[in-house]
Structure 1
Amino acid sequence: METSFDTQVQELYKKAEIIITDYYKAKRDNDYFEAKRKDDNSKAKPQHGHSKITIPQEFKDEFFSLVDKVNLSLMEDKDNFYGYFLLQMSREIRFDISSPTAVNFKRAKYVIYFNPIIFLNLNLKQMESTIKHEILHILSMHLIRAKEFKGNYSTLAINLAMNLVVNTYLDHLPPFSVTLEWVNLYYDLKLLPFKPFEYYVEEIQTALDLLEADETTEDERDASEVDDSKNEETDDNPDDANDDVNVATEYDPEKAHDLWEESSDIDQKTLQEFTEKFIDNAQKGSIPGYLAGMISSLRSSKGELPWNLYLKRLMGSVESNKKKTITRRNRRQPDRLDLRGQLRSHKAKIVVALDISGSISDQEFNQALKEVLDIVKNYNHEITIIECDSEIRRVYNVKSVKDVKERINIRGGTRFTPVFEYANDHKINLLVYFTDGKGEEKLLTVPRGYKTLWVISGRGDKLSLKEPHGAVKKLKNIEIKDDALEMSDVKRDGYSMNDQERMHI
């Protein structure tokens, strides 16, 4: 008689517990003999080597037989794309991952990992959702995008934001899952659904900074850096992942994506090509609209970070200081309503240069400037507009798109150097230069102490400078979206094609 699914789950969980118990016993014995060897001056038994989790082949076979049943259920569902995608993935068991499932890319294949202790505590539908969760991370190119934000944002903020993006599309989530409701409640936020990853990570990071503002001392930060360096040094052999492991028995969002760091060293373009092959083999019929949107965005991406996202990344490197806010209480003395809380902010003197001799239209520029203002709104900032051709024609400050003046009707030649002379004299933090790219080949004045971002207009070709002294990006039409989510936009299966995340790689 065939064992029922629930019974198989229970039996496997008991066997997993025995495997962990045996591991800890072997580890204690190993530690004992090593200590005795030192006490007896090498007269005791030699050290047995690293303690290692021994996973019997029988357990592996039974466990992956259960995974096959979960996959069969996926393939019978309307979202059978996930089932066919999973069929192409390698499978491994890891007791040290702090989530039921995890993924990375190794040896030309995506690998999905299972922690039996956490995974076997879920029901069938929840198991399906954890697998879908990992595949959505892949389709969203999160394994690559996480690296783009590392350094400017904390691991926890990045992980929470990415999980919010993918979990929004899933039903039957495990009880510990990161959801919009949980994040809003726990961090006292008002995040909206179906928004881009960049929106979530910025808002969550601000909340995290507020929580830590008055509690983290410089000494604690130094100690944290030392601990991090020690942790990095312990993984001498990442391929032998079960040596001296720390068994994870519960979900930890901050560590949930640690395995991404163990992915093979592969460039973004190649990874995208492999992903598209997986997608092609998984598409056996119709797929939900949100999946179609993700796949379409992935295929159209050339693996280059768009200018607006690159600007967001640059903003993270601008010198920062704390600003007061009346919207949150002081964390050290929450009952003192007269004390204001603190938010992370970046004091940024930003110059936006507009080449009025070029082919960029008023509509293009106003739309792009709106995007600039939206990006910097969470920072202390001061924006100065410079209209220029072969020389600077006008300089004025703006706080909103309404402050943008009608462009001067002068069409001279183009020289970039005058703007850089101005920027150097005024000690700015960031220069964003909108141009068609046609100017001198060499700057007579090079930038000093600030970042430069060149944005070539939609009809422009390339930048004439042989050495741009900054990143060069292409301007594309930016869709101006209403942040309001109307119920008429939300489909029955829980997503809105009007509000779903735009895929910026």
Structure 2
Amino acid sequence: MESKFDNEVKNLCEEANKIVDTFFKTNYKNDNVPEEFKSRFFILIDKVNLSLMEDEDNFYGYFLFQMEREIRFNISSPTAVNFKGAKYVIYFNPIIFLNLNIKQMESTIKHEILHILSMHLIRAKKFKENYNSFAVNMAMDIVVNTFLDNLPPYATTLDWVNVKYNLKLFPFKTFEYYVEEIQTAIDIDEEYREEDNDKDDKVETEYNPQNTHDIWEESSDIDEKTLKEFTEKFINNAKKGTIPEYLDSMVASLKSSNGELPWNLYLKKLMGTIESNKKKTITRRSRRQPDRLDLRGELRDHMAEIAVAIDISGSISDEEFNQAIKEVIGIVKNYKHEITIIECDNEIRRIYKIKFLKDIRERIAPRGGTKFNPVFEYVNKHKFNLLIYFTDGKGEEELLVTPNGYKTLWVISGRGDKLSLKEPYGIIKKLRSVEIKDDGADELIKSGFSMMNQEPERI
């Protein structure tokens, strides 16, 4: 027997289809949605919101209560969000949304709020500069959907991605991990073609994971720090009682962060942007000229040449460096890579290659102060993609050579204060204490913007 709520959903669904047939056959305009339909639809959303508020996860209900609501028939998902006019706005596509049951409706609303708490609206812009937007969308959805039950049958989940792309991705891993693995899979999927999305407004009647977050591009132009402050206000107003542990951890992480990625997460970002050679393949057509069967396609062929310089002048302890190099190895393991260790003080003392943590040698005794130039002279003469320099920052004020053809990441030890160079030619990060489990399955990182494990800490 159908409930009163189910009858309301059914009637609204029928009316939504009539609206599409009547007003949007030739041209979509949001202004054409009848006010009477909007009123009835949002009364139904109020009932869903009331159900959220009565649930043990009532945080979501109180968060939704603060959001502006709009109807958009041209989004390819049941719900979507962006930030406009100093408020978060949640959009509903009635054609897709009204085909869900109430628990699925709740989950798709929770899905959007988790994107907000993970700062995905800001992070997506950065990652789409170097990754396919489809890979970024799926990676973000995997991260948030891992924490949700009662998902729509078409939701992008870890299991679905593993089956579709023949992957073995693990749950509760980092956003960066999922992006890289999915991007690589997309690159070798000969059936996938990256196409320009049609930006013309049109009615969407089915879920399309490729375009689910396009509406984020309509967000107000706002910096990360300000958006974080607005988000904290929404969070504070939504905390009316105890919240689930995973939400509490996410909120605490967002509040404690200063909007800046710690060095290890920044390294993950750098690894994704390193320009790699491409190898030809006969299993894939050329993207630029897919009809030219005589042209071979290209796959990304990761071979990252990484130089890790360690200042042995006594500024960094063995414990600090061993922990840091363990993270470096863990971060680059998903890439083809070669790591070269450079021990130096006022000159280079030793150079050797490593693959595993056990390959790290006991450091030789320092003989002088700290000079950065010898390392840059060496790296300039060899084909490296990235230089990671661990130091207390106390060296020259100027480099005699300019870094050529590689990125530089300075990591200042806990004992150091700042880098002495006036022009660092790279990014400067502070070495932070991070606990890493030996099996590499779960990392506990005390700051950042994503979700990873069931405790859960977020990065």
User: TM-score when scaled to structure 2?
Assistant: 0.89
Structure 1 CA distance for aligned equivalents of residues 434 and 31 of structure 2? 52
Task: State the SS of the aligned residue for 1:125.
Answer: helix
Q: Conserved in 1, the CA contact under 8 Å of 2:304 and 2:336?
A: yes
Q: Distance in 1 between matches of 2:335 and 2:298?
A: 13
- Is the Cα contact below 8 Å between 1:318 and 1:347 reproduced in 2? no
Tell me the amino acid that sits aligned with residue 210 of structure 2. Answer: E
> Aligned with 2:188: secondary structure?
helix
- Going from structure 1 to structure 2, the CA distance change for 1:399 and 1:253 (only over 3 Å counts) comes to same
The secondary structure found in structure 2 opposite 1:211 is coil
Closer, same or farther in 2 for the Cα pair 1:134/1:330, shift >3 Å?
Answer: same
Partner of 1:237: none
Aligned to 2:4: 4
Query: Residue 464 of structure 1 is aligned with which of 416, 420, 424?
Result: 420
Pairing of 1:478-497 with structure 2 (within 5 A): 478-483=434-439
- Deviation per residue, 1:472-501 (Å, 9 max, x gap): 111112221255879xxxxxxxxx995456
User: How far apart are residue 318 of structure 1 and its match?
Assistant: 2.5
Contact 2:246 2:454 (C-alpha < 8 Å) held by counterparts: no
Cα separation, 2, equivalents of 1:431 and 1:482: 25
In the alignment, structure 2 segments of 5+ residues that lack a partner are 286-296, 443-450
Question: Which of 276, 281, 304 matches 2:232?
Answer: 276
Q: Given residue 462 of structure 1, which amino acid in structure 2 is its aligned partner? A: K
Residue type of the alignment partner of 1:459: R
Larger-gyration structure (1/2): 1
8 Å Cα contact 2:330/2:440 also seen in 1: no
The CA deviation at 1:78 is 0.5
Q: How do 1:278-427 residues align onto structure 2 when only pairs under 5 Å count?
A: 278-322=234-278, 344-410=300-366, 412-427=368-383
Change (3 A) 1:350 1:93: same
Indicate the residue corresponding to 1:202 in structure 2: 180
Aligned residue in 1 for 2:290: none
**TM-score if structure 1 supplies the norm length?**
0.82
The AA in structure 2 aligned to 1:456 is I
Q: How far off its partner does 1:21 sit?
A: 0.7
Question: Which string of whole-angstrom CA distances, capped at 9 and with x for unpartnered residues, describes residues 53-86 of structure 1?
Answer: 5011111110100000000000000000000000
Match of 1:88 among 66, 71, 76: 66
Q: Distance in 1 between matches of 2:327 and 2:400?
A: 30
Q: Which moved more, 1:354-363 or 1:433-442?
A: 354-363
Q: CA deviation at 1:15?
A: 1.3
Match of residue 291 from structure 2: none
Aligned residues: 438
Cross-structure match for 2:56 = 78
Output the amino acid matched with 1:245.
Answer: D
Displacement of 1:342 after TM fit?
A: 9.1
Query: Please, which moves more after superposition, 412-421 or 341-350?
Result: 341-350
Identical aligned pairs, as a percentage? 69
Separation in 2 of the partners of 1:446 and 1:475?
A: 24
> Which residue, 84, 109, 119 being the options, matches 1:106?
84
Query: Residues 30 and 71 of structure 2 are in contact (CA less than 8 Å); yes or no, is this contact kept in structure 1?
Result: no
Write out aligned runs for 1:99-138 (5 A). Answer: 99-138=77-116
2:412 partner letter: I
Asked if the contact 2:176–2:269 (Cα under 8 Å) also holds between the matched residues in 1, the reply is: no
> Do the aligned residues in 2 keep the contact of 1:454 with 1:473 (CA within 8 Å)?
yes
In the alignment, which residue of structure 1 is the partner of 2:16?
A: 16
Partner SS for 1:305? coil
Q: 1:276 offset after TM fit, Å? A: 0.7
SS in 1 for 2:409: strand
Deviation at 1:378, TM superposition (A): 2.5
Task: Give how far 1:313 is off.
Answer: 2.2
The one-letter amino acid of 1:23's match is F
Q: Counterpart amino acid of 2:247? A: L
**1:503 matches 2:455:** no
Q: 2:375 & 2:98 partners in 1: Cα distance?
A: 62
Structure-1 separation of matches of 2:29 and 2:61: 36
Shift of the 278–51 alpha-carbon distance from structure 1 to 2, 3 Å rule, reads closer
Give structure 1 stretches of 5+ with no counterpart. Answer: 28-49, 235-243, 333-340, 487-495
CA RMSD of the aligned region, Å? 2.5
How far residue 358 of structure 1 moved from its aligned partner, in angstroms, is 4.3
CA–CA distance in structure 1, aligned partners of residues 356 and 456 of structure 2: 25
Question: Which residue identity is paired with 2:240?
Answer: K
Helix, strand or coil for the counterpart of 1:252?
coil
Q: Check 1:377–1:387 CA distance in 2 against 1; reply closer, same or farther (3 A cut).
A: same
CA distance in 1, matches of 2:228, 2:135: 25
The SS at the match of 1:316 is helix
Please show how residues 208-287 of structure 1 align to structure 2 within 5 Å: 208-212=186-190, 224=195, 227=196, 245-287=201-243
Cα offsets for 1:126-161 (capped at 9, x unmatched): 000000010011111111121221132211111111
81-90 or 173-182: which moved more? Answer: 173-182
What is the one-letter code of the residue matched to 1:17? N
Q: Does 1:433 align with 2:411?
A: no
The superposition leaves residues 396-437 of structure 1 with CA deviations (integer Å, 9 ceiling, x where unpaired) of: 111111111101111521111111111111132211101111
Q: In the alignment, which residue of structure 1 is the partner of 2:128?
A: 150
The answer on 1:454 being equivalent to 2:432 is: no
Deviations 1:360-381 (A, max 9, x none): 2112111111221222222222
